Protein backbone atom coordinates (compact mmCIF):
# COMPACT_ATOMS: atom_id res chain seq x y z
CA UNK A 1 0.00 0.00 0.00
CA UNK A 2 1.28 3.48 -0.84
CA UNK A 3 0.97 5.23 2.52
CA UNK A 4 2.09 8.58 1.08
CA UNK A 5 -0.82 8.58 -1.35
CA UNK A 6 -3.18 7.37 1.38
CA UNK A 7 -2.06 10.18 3.69
CA UNK A 8 -2.54 12.76 0.94
CA UNK A 9 -6.03 11.47 0.21
CA UNK A 10 -6.89 11.50 3.91
CA UNK A 11 -5.66 15.08 4.23
CA UNK A 12 -7.82 16.17 1.30
CA UNK A 13 -10.89 14.55 2.84
CA UNK A 14 -10.22 16.32 6.13
CA UNK A 15 -9.82 19.65 4.34
CA UNK A 16 -13.11 19.09 2.51
CA UNK A 17 -14.99 17.56 5.43
CA UNK A 18 -17.84 20.04 5.06
CA UNK A 19 -18.42 19.14 1.42
CA UNK A 20 -21.50 17.01 0.62
CA UNK A 21 -20.81 13.34 -0.05
CA UNK A 22 -21.67 13.50 -3.81
CA UNK A 23 -18.91 16.09 -4.20
CA UNK A 24 -16.41 14.05 -2.20
CA UNK A 25 -17.26 11.01 -4.30
CA UNK A 26 -16.80 13.07 -7.47
CA UNK A 27 -13.34 14.22 -6.39
CA UNK A 28 -12.45 10.61 -5.52
CA UNK A 29 -13.43 9.40 -9.03
CA UNK A 30 -10.72 6.87 -9.99
CA UNK A 31 -11.07 7.82 -13.67
CA UNK A 32 -9.65 11.28 -13.03
CA UNK A 33 -6.12 11.68 -14.45
CA UNK A 34 -3.30 11.36 -11.93
CA UNK A 35 -2.07 14.80 -13.02
CA UNK A 36 -5.42 16.28 -11.93
CA UNK A 37 -5.45 14.51 -8.58
CA UNK A 38 -1.92 15.70 -7.90
CA UNK A 39 -3.13 19.33 -7.86
CA UNK A 40 -6.21 18.81 -5.67
CA UNK A 41 -4.48 19.94 -2.47
CA UNK A 42 -3.75 23.33 -4.05
CA UNK A 43 -6.92 23.72 -6.13
CA UNK A 44 -9.38 22.55 -3.44
CA UNK A 45 -12.11 21.31 -5.82
CA UNK A 46 -14.39 19.88 -3.11
CA UNK A 47 -14.47 23.14 -1.18
CA UNK A 48 -15.07 25.13 -4.38
CA UNK A 49 -18.01 22.98 -5.49
CA UNK A 50 -19.46 23.00 -1.97
CA UNK A 51 -19.31 26.81 -1.92
CA UNK A 52 -20.84 26.96 -5.40
CA UNK A 53 -23.74 24.81 -4.26
CA UNK A 54 -23.33 22.01 -6.80
CA UNK A 55 -25.96 19.28 -6.25
CA UNK A 56 -27.09 16.09 -7.98
CA UNK A 57 -29.50 16.69 -10.84
CA UNK A 58 -28.22 20.19 -11.70
CA UNK A 59 -27.72 21.43 -15.25
CA UNK A 60 -24.39 23.27 -15.28
CA UNK A 61 -22.71 25.18 -18.11
CA UNK A 62 -18.92 25.28 -17.72
CA UNK A 63 -17.31 28.17 -19.54
CA UNK A 64 -13.84 27.55 -21.04
CA UNK A 65 -13.27 24.15 -19.40
CA UNK A 66 -9.65 23.75 -20.50
CA UNK A 67 -8.44 20.18 -20.16
CA UNK A 68 -11.49 19.13 -18.12
CA UNK A 69 -10.16 19.30 -14.56
CA UNK A 70 -13.50 20.52 -13.20
CA UNK A 71 -15.59 19.00 -15.99
CA UNK A 72 -15.03 15.46 -14.76
CA UNK A 73 -15.76 16.40 -11.16
CA UNK A 74 -18.90 18.34 -12.08
CA UNK A 75 -20.10 15.40 -14.18
CA UNK A 76 -19.85 13.03 -11.24
CA UNK A 77 -21.25 15.54 -8.74
CA UNK A 78 -24.45 16.24 -10.70
CA UNK A 79 -24.89 12.54 -11.44
CA UNK A 80 -26.84 10.78 -14.19
CA UNK A 81 -29.89 13.00 -13.67
CA UNK A 82 -27.78 16.13 -14.20
CA UNK A 83 -26.03 17.65 -17.20
CA UNK A 84 -22.74 19.45 -17.83
CA UNK A 85 -22.54 21.63 -20.93
CA UNK A 86 -18.99 22.64 -21.79
CA UNK A 87 -18.42 25.84 -23.75
CA UNK A 88 -14.79 25.80 -24.95
CA UNK A 89 -15.40 28.59 -27.48
CA UNK A 90 -12.72 27.48 -29.93
CA UNK A 91 -9.85 27.58 -27.43
CA UNK A 92 -7.04 25.16 -28.19
CA UNK A 93 -8.30 22.72 -25.57
CA UNK A 94 -11.48 22.06 -27.54
CA UNK A 95 -10.21 18.58 -28.33
CA UNK A 96 -10.30 17.68 -24.65
CA UNK A 97 -13.87 18.91 -24.27
CA UNK A 98 -14.97 17.03 -27.36
CA UNK A 99 -13.30 13.88 -26.12
CA UNK A 100 -15.10 14.05 -22.78
CA UNK A 101 -18.44 14.65 -24.50
CA UNK A 102 -17.90 11.39 -26.40
CA UNK A 103 -16.64 9.36 -23.45
CA UNK A 104 -19.38 6.86 -22.44
CA UNK A 105 -18.02 6.87 -18.90
CA UNK A 106 -19.14 10.50 -18.63
CA UNK A 107 -22.47 10.26 -20.37
CA UNK A 108 -23.93 13.48 -18.99
CA UNK A 109 -21.43 15.81 -20.68
CA UNK A 110 -22.22 17.65 -23.88
CA UNK A 111 -20.29 20.30 -25.78
CA UNK A 112 -21.44 23.62 -27.23
CA UNK A 113 -19.02 24.41 -30.04
CA UNK A 114 -20.58 27.57 -31.42
CA UNK A 115 -19.62 31.10 -30.46
CA UNK A 116 -20.40 31.72 -26.80
CA UNK A 117 -22.53 34.72 -27.73
CA UNK A 118 -24.91 32.28 -29.45
CA UNK A 119 -25.43 30.18 -26.31
CA UNK A 120 -29.18 29.71 -25.85
CA UNK A 121 -29.88 26.43 -24.03
CA UNK A 122 -33.30 24.92 -24.72
CA UNK A 123 -33.72 24.48 -20.99
CA UNK A 124 -32.23 27.21 -18.76
CA UNK A 125 -29.29 26.00 -16.69
CA UNK A 126 -29.00 26.01 -12.91
CA UNK A 127 -25.42 27.26 -12.83
CA UNK A 128 -22.71 28.89 -14.91
CA UNK A 129 -19.27 27.83 -13.67
CA UNK A 130 -15.91 29.18 -14.77
CA UNK A 131 -12.42 29.14 -13.30
CA UNK A 132 -9.42 31.34 -14.15
CA UNK A 133 -10.98 32.50 -17.41
CA UNK A 134 -12.97 35.69 -16.96
CA UNK A 135 -9.83 37.82 -17.31
CA UNK A 136 -9.27 36.47 -20.83
CA UNK A 137 -12.27 38.32 -22.24
CA UNK A 138 -11.86 41.89 -23.35
CA UNK A 139 -14.14 44.83 -22.58
CA UNK A 140 -16.80 45.49 -23.90
CA UNK A 141 -17.01 41.81 -24.82
CA UNK A 142 -17.38 40.89 -21.16
CA UNK A 143 -20.60 42.90 -20.91
CA UNK A 144 -22.06 40.97 -23.85
CA UNK A 145 -20.97 37.66 -22.37
CA UNK A 146 -22.50 38.42 -18.98
CA UNK A 147 -25.81 39.29 -20.64
CA UNK A 148 -25.78 36.03 -22.61
CA UNK A 149 -25.09 34.05 -19.44
CA UNK A 150 -27.79 35.93 -17.54
CA UNK A 151 -30.36 34.87 -20.15
CA UNK A 152 -29.11 31.27 -20.12
CA UNK A 153 -29.70 30.87 -16.38
CA UNK A 154 -33.01 30.05 -14.80
CA UNK A 155 -34.37 32.54 -12.21
CA UNK A 156 -32.49 31.83 -9.01
CA UNK A 157 -29.62 30.32 -11.01
CA UNK A 158 -26.01 30.83 -9.97
CA UNK A 159 -22.99 32.33 -11.71
CA UNK A 160 -19.76 31.16 -10.05
CA UNK A 161 -16.42 32.74 -10.97
CA UNK A 162 -12.93 31.91 -9.75
CA UNK A 163 -10.06 34.05 -11.01
CA UNK A 164 -6.60 35.43 -10.32
CA UNK A 165 -6.77 38.70 -8.42
CA UNK A 166 -5.18 41.81 -9.90
CA UNK A 167 -4.09 44.90 -7.99
CA UNK A 168 -7.13 47.00 -6.91
CA UNK A 169 -8.04 49.86 -9.21
CA UNK A 170 -5.50 48.77 -11.78
CA UNK A 171 -5.71 47.65 -15.38
CA UNK A 172 -4.17 44.29 -14.51
CA UNK A 173 -6.46 42.07 -16.48
CA UNK A 174 -6.15 39.81 -19.48
CA UNK A 175 -2.75 39.57 -21.15
CA UNK A 176 0.03 39.63 -20.16
CA UNK A 177 -0.66 39.03 -16.44
CA UNK A 178 -3.83 36.91 -16.70
CA UNK A 179 -5.42 38.71 -13.75
CA UNK A 180 -8.36 41.01 -13.13
CA UNK A 181 -9.33 43.57 -10.51
CA UNK A 182 -12.05 41.74 -8.59
CA UNK A 183 -13.96 44.95 -7.83
CA UNK A 184 -14.12 45.62 -11.57
CA UNK A 185 -15.37 42.09 -12.20
CA UNK A 186 -18.09 42.45 -9.59
CA UNK A 187 -19.30 45.75 -11.08
CA UNK A 188 -19.45 44.24 -14.56
CA UNK A 189 -21.37 41.15 -13.47
CA UNK A 190 -23.84 43.13 -11.38
CA UNK A 191 -24.37 45.50 -14.33
CA UNK A 192 -25.80 42.53 -16.25
CA UNK A 193 -28.50 42.05 -13.60
CA UNK A 194 -26.83 39.58 -11.25
CA UNK A 195 -26.91 39.98 -7.47
CA UNK A 196 -23.79 39.28 -5.44
CA UNK A 197 -24.39 36.19 -3.29
CA UNK A 198 -21.11 35.68 -1.49
CA UNK A 199 -17.40 35.01 -1.69
CA UNK A 200 -14.85 32.55 -0.37
CA UNK A 201 -11.24 33.06 0.73
CA UNK A 202 -10.15 29.43 0.38
CA UNK A 203 -7.63 30.22 -2.38
CA UNK A 204 -6.37 33.54 -1.05
CA UNK A 205 -2.63 34.14 -0.80
CA UNK A 206 -1.65 37.47 0.80
CA UNK A 207 1.98 36.84 -0.19
CA UNK A 208 1.10 37.30 -3.86
CA UNK A 209 1.83 40.90 -4.93
CA UNK A 210 -0.82 40.54 -7.69
CA UNK A 211 1.50 42.26 -10.19
CA UNK A 212 3.26 39.14 -11.49
CA UNK A 213 2.28 37.01 -14.47
CA UNK A 214 0.37 34.01 -13.10
CA UNK A 215 2.58 31.67 -15.16
CA UNK A 216 5.77 32.93 -13.56
CA UNK A 217 7.54 30.03 -11.80
CA UNK A 218 7.71 32.12 -8.63
CA UNK A 219 3.92 32.27 -8.25
CA UNK A 220 2.38 29.69 -10.57
CA UNK A 221 -0.15 27.58 -8.68
CA UNK A 222 0.03 29.91 -5.68
CA UNK A 223 -1.66 33.09 -6.90
CA UNK A 224 -4.11 35.07 -4.83
CA UNK A 225 -7.48 33.92 -6.17
CA UNK A 226 -10.98 35.14 -5.44
CA UNK A 227 -14.12 33.03 -5.62
CA UNK A 228 -17.40 34.88 -6.20
CA UNK A 229 -20.97 33.68 -6.45
CA UNK A 230 -23.78 35.66 -8.08
CA UNK A 231 -27.47 34.86 -8.45
CA UNK A 232 -30.00 35.70 -11.13
CA UNK A 233 -32.94 37.20 -9.23
CA UNK A 234 -36.12 35.16 -9.18
CA UNK A 235 -38.92 36.91 -11.03
The b-or-e profile of 40-75 (16+ CB within 10 A means b, else e) is: beebbbbbbbbbbbbbeebbbbbbbbbbbbbbbbbb
Helix axes 69-78, 94-101, angle to 10 degrees: 30
Give ∠ CA 72-80-163 in degrees, rounded to 5.
35
Q: What is the chain's pLDDT, residue by residue, as a tens digit (235 residues)?
A: 343 333 334 344 444 556 679 999 999 999 999 999 999 999 999 999 999 999 999 999 999 999 999 999 999 999 999 999 999 976 666 688 889 999 999 999 999 988 999 999 999 999 999 999 999 888 789 999 999 999 999 999 999 999 999 987 665 555 678 999 999 999 999 999 999 999 999 999 999 999 899 999 999 999 999 999 999 999 7
Contact criterion met (CB below 8 Å) for 79 and 57: yes
Question: Which CATH superfamily groups domain 3-231?
Answer: Vaccinia Virus protein VP39 (3.40.50.150)
The residue ranges of every structural domain in the chain are 3-231
Amino acid sequence: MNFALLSAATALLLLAQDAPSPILSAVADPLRPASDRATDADRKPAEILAFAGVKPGMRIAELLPGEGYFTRILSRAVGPAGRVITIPWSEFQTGASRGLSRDPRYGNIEIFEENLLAFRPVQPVDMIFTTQNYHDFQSPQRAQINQVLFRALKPGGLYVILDHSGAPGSAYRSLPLHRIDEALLRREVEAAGFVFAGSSDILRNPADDRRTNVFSPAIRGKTDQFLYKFVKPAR
